[in-house]
Structure formats: structure tokens, C-alpha cells
Amino acid sequence: MNERTKNFLRERFKEYYLEYPIQLPPGFESREWGFVMFDALPKIVMYRHKSFHSRPETLEYLRSMAPAHAFSSVAYYEHPGAGTMADKHWTGADLIFDLDADHLPDAPESYSAMLANVKDETLKLLGFLTDDFGFSEDLIDIVFSGGRGYHIHVRDQRVRALGSAERREIVDYVSGAGLSLKQIPSEESGGWGAKTNRWIVKYLQGLRDRDDALKILQKFDGIGKARAKALINAGNDANIKLIRNGDTGFLKDVPESFWNELRLQAVQEIGASVDEPVTGDIKRLIRLPTSLHGGSSMRVVPLTLQTIEMFDPLNDAVVFSDKEISVAAESPASCDLRGNHFEIEEGVSTVPEYAGIHLMCRGAVEYAGRV
């Protein structure tokens, strides 16, 4: 990224911070702040141990410095601006979850498909937090990261004092680590038990609708034709009623290896794939909601349980104008934003500002002037 591009991006980011409403996290005066400036890019240099005492002071810093990336700590401190972690005096931390498309198993190649997948994981996690843990929707902040995923902030006072080990146990729970299907729980058992029961019922009922069910089941170790027929028969109404009550005695001859395989499938479909190190880090810096992501130019968008379903990051998180600018590329580049596909060839091209800034932030093109 050359200096001309950095200066252009810095100016456009500054205009964003002047024009758009900025949301500060609760208790922002007790949080450590960190920033990455455009000057050193593409090298990431974090300026941290910063603190603010008022909203005007915070906004003035963002507007005057126009950082490429802005972060605040998940932790609360007595002295957040102290130069060492020991001198800050930790007093608690929000419970944070990071869901990143890059960390999902079998992640698709296209950006839009990855974003769709990670939204599904986020919705699963939200279900655990509200249904299983009973956190109030009012105390859960959902944020599109501006990049490849979502951040969940649980701001319930009851979680503030939790240590890293307890937070990792929560990750184990929502991801289904250690789930056992040796004995299928009843639908009334709640939590993972109820989720697992419903998943098994759906699986067995689905077998009855497949012409190739016998063939599929006999691929499992220890499942011959007779056991396969028994499993298919388990999907009838009478047996499903038994299974919903946790009664699977009529399937006692089905080998444990079959249930282990189903366990793996159930965990993948029911569990939420979250980044454990982020949740376990009680002093982590996390991206500021309503700031701009310097690696994509997209807005870090606050959402709710009601708005996340319809949220389209490739449209709703794009903030810059459609005025045309010129960009220069040393090699071909492409992007999809606001329903448009852009193919950039080597040399100078004209594109809408929102696409050009996005590609500049990705390091794919340089700024070449206004049209």
C-alpha cells in the first residue's frame, strides 16, 4: 500500500467518523483501547494501553486519528491506561465469542458462502445463550466483525468474574465437546439432551423417506440388513414416541460405533463452532462496534436477534459512495459488493468508490485518483 493510497483511505475513514454515529461500549472509561494506524500498513502495529474519560474525548480521537482498526478491551480495569497489564488491575470482563468463517470446517471458497455459513453458526450459538444459559436478549450484543464473521458480547454481570477455565467450559458446552449418545436422552431433558433427541428423531424419520436408506445404513460398521431394517422401522410413529421419551431399548442391538458416528454428525449440525482462545482470553482487545474494518472497509455493524436473520454484510455493511474513482492494479482482482461483481484487470480501472476502497483495504489495488 503506497502513501497516496494510505492518505486517501485515512481521509475517507476520517469523513466516516465525522458523519456516522459511533457507538461506545458500556463502561468504555474502564476499558483499555487499542488502534492500528494506516501509517505502518501492511505491517500491523498495535498502539494500545490507551484510555478515555469521556465520550467527546473518544470521538475526537477517532475523528482526528482516523485509525484503520479500532479496538477496546473485553476487560474492565481500575487503571485501563496503565502501561503494564499488572498495573491495570483487572476487575472483570464481558463474555465474548468470536465466530470466524476461516475457522469453520470445510469452509467454502467464496466470500459470500463463507459469510452465510458463519451466520448459521452464530444463530446456533445465540440459541444456546438464550435457551440453555438463559441470558436475556437485552444483555447480548451481536456484531458483524467487518470481516469474515461475528462477535457476540454477553454483558451479564454474572459472567464478569469468570476466569479463563470457566469460559472455556462454556465453549465446550456450546460446541458439544464430550457429547455421548450411548443413551439417548428424552426430549424433556433440556439442553443438549433435548437437542440431541430432536436430531435423532429427525434423522430416523428421514430414513423412511429415502429409497437408499438400506444402502446408507449398511455402510456403517456393524450394521447389516437386519439392523438397518430395525433402524428404518424406528422412524414409525409408535417408535418415535418411545424415542422422544428416551426409551430406545428396542434398539439395544445397534452397535455403539453407530451411535458414535451419529454423535459426530449431531455435534457438527447442532453445536456452534467458536474460537476458543478468544472466549478464554479475559484481557483481549476486540473490534469496536460501528468502527470501520481497515482490512475490508466495511462497517462493524451492531445487530439484534431480530435483525441478524436478514442482515446482508456485502450490502448492509458497505458505507462508501458509488462515485467513480480510478484504481491501479498490478494483477487481476475481484470483489462482490452491493449485488455487483467487479473484475479488475491489470492497469488502471474505474470503479465505484465503495468497491475501490474495499480493494485498497485488501491490498489488491492502489488509489489512482478521482474521475
Q: Across residues 276-291, what is the average pLDDT?
A: 97
Active site residues: 98, 100, 275
Per-residue model confidence as pLDDT tens digits over 89-107:
999 999 999 999 877 766 6
Per-residue model confidence as pLDDT tens digits over 69-85:
999 999 999 999 999 99
Residue 263: pLDDT over 90: no
Burial state string for 330-344 with b = 16 or more CB within 10 A and e = fewer than 16: eeebebebeeeebeb
Q: Give the position of cell 481500575.
A: 78
Please give the mean pLDDT across all residues of the chain. 92
- Of the chain, the percentage scoring pLDDT greater than 70 comes to 98
Q: Per the structure block, which three cell numbers stand in for 79? A: 487503571
* pLDDT for the residue 128: 94
Q: Across residues 165-169, what is the average pLDDT?
A: 96
* pLDDT for the residue 94: 98
pLDDT band at 181 (very low <50, low <70, confident <90, very high): low
CA-nearest of 173, 278, 166, 264 to 220 is 264
> Which range has highest mean pLDDT (12-21, 96-105, 219-228)?
12-21
Residue 182: pLDDT over 70: no
Q: Name the 3-class secondary structure at 149.
A: strand
Q: Across residues 192-206, what is the average pLDDT?
A: 88
CA-nearest of 274, 27, 46, 4 to 150 is 274
Q: Across residues 253-261, what is the average pLDDT?
A: 83
Q: What CA–CA distance (Å, rounded) separates 290 from 297?
A: 12
